[in-house]
Amino acid sequence: SAVISQKPSRDICQRGTSLTIQCQVDSQVTMMFWYRQQPGQSLTLIATANQGSEATYESGFVIDKFPISRPNLTFSTLTVSNMSPEDSSIYLCSVEDRDLHGYTFGSGTRLTVV
Amino acid sequence: DQQVKQNSPSLSVQEGRISILNCDYTNSMFDYFLWYKKYPAEGPTFLISISSIKDKNEDGRFTVFLNKSAKHLSLHIVPSQPGDSAVYFCAASPMRGGSEKLVFGKGTKLTVNP
């Protein structure tokens, strides 16, 4: 199955700053997915990132706040911009894993905004 | 409106006994269902899936049952082991693979007592 390296694993950031999260996959994938898990909540899809095109954002998420890059088929970044304490969450990337008939997740980035 | 519901936030079971985790969904377009396990400080790990053409799928100690008419699925773990202690997420998708996003429940924290 696919292996995803996600970093950083955690960070504490000042409000008003930005953090970029990276995900590297050990195989080429068409789409990568970015999720957020707020405390006590389910995982919520932020956007789907396709290589060579603009990311597709879910309702409630906008590109200015969560810009995404997808420069090639194995790598993507999510930036959390102009952070506020409400952005404190776990952020996860994911890819479809056809060997598993499911989706593989990165280990997550635990973000705390102070 | 939550489309995937896990109404039990926690479950405690004795080692060796059966663990039954339940999940209900409201969207009749959901066609593919997955269970994930999540340990603290790790990303969700895919466990088992089932498509709507089946009512049961088994993988070792893990069995998922799907009742489409009731819009209900359950995950059975037999026998339960202390290492199974984790948060279990139910997820659903309109179809397997591609751009169809997963919708997650809030999770059930399973504790297996030695």
Q: What is the pLDDT of residues A10-27, one digit of tens each?
A: 999 999 999 999 999 999
What mean pLDDT do residues B43-71 have? 94
B43·A44 Cβ contact <8 A: no
Q: How does residue A50 score in pLDDT terms, banded at 50, 70 and 90?
A: confident
Q: Is B64 on the interface with A (CB under 8 A)?
A: no
What does chain A come to in residues?
Answer: 114
Average pLDDT score, chain B = 92
User: Is A67 within 8 Å of A46 (Cβ atoms)?
Assistant: no
Residue B98 clears pLDDT 70, i.e. is over it? no
Nearest to B43 among A44, A45, A92 (CB): A92
Q: Widest CA span of chain A, in angstroms?
A: 41
DSSP 3-state of B36: strand
What is the rounded (10 degree) CA torsion for A95, A99, A102, A103?
-20
pLDDT digits (tens, 9 = 90+) for B18-39: 999 999 999 988 989 999 999 9
Task: Report CA-CA distances (Å) from A35 to A2, A38, B5, B69, B104.
Answer: 17, 10, 18, 30, 11
A100·B43 Cβ contact <8 A: no
pLDDT the model gives residue A2: 87
Chain B environment of A110 (Cβ under 8 Å):
41
Question: Tokens 């776990």 identify what position?
Answer: A90
Q: Are strands A68-72 and A75-80 parallel, antiparallel or unpaired?
A: antiparallel
pLDDT the model gives residue B100: 66
